[in-house]
Amino acid sequence: MHVCIRVWHDVGMAESYASQFARKGGQARARKLTPEQRSESARKAVEARWAKQKKLVEEITKGTTALLKQAKANAKTARTRRARQEKARQP
């Protein structure tokens, strides 16, 4: 018995084959499912995508809020430093 192992030198080619086989498997699975099962599967996929988007928006919002707080603190420090410097210049 011989075992043939191919080494893909071109990663794009390997990904192309993988996506082709995945597509065939997905089509075969879809043919076996009832319309209700396909609908439920699609609904779950949409919910998962939206959950990922919602999480991303929350992380961006949280990060933006933290950056704004840091910027305000830096501005306050700069104002205080300038006030001290101006006070030191006055005779």
Q: Kindly report, residue by residue over 50-84, the tens digit of the pLDDT.
A: 998 998 899 999 889 888 999 999 998 988 988 88
- Mean per-residue pLDDT of the chain: 82
Q: What is the pLDDT of residue 13?
A: 64
DSSP letter (8 states) at residue 3: -
Whether pLDDT at 8 is above 70: no
Q: What is the pLDDT of residue 3?
A: 53
Q: What is the pLDDT of residue 39?
A: 93
Q: What is the pLDDT of residue 84?
A: 87
Rounded CA-CA distance 70/17 in Å is 49
Q: What is the pLDDT of residue 24?
A: 81
CB 23 within 8 A of CB 29: no
CB 65 within 8 A of CB 58: no
Give the residue extent of every domain in the chain. Answer: 11-89
Instruction: For residue 84, count CB atoms less than 10 angstroms from its CB and return exposed for 0-12, middle for 13-18, buried for 19 or more.
Output: exposed
Rounded CA-CA distance 81/87 in Å is 10
CB 19 within 8 A of CB 11: no
- C-alpha distance from residue 19 to each of 4, 16, 25, 49, 73 (Å): 21, 5, 10, 20, 50
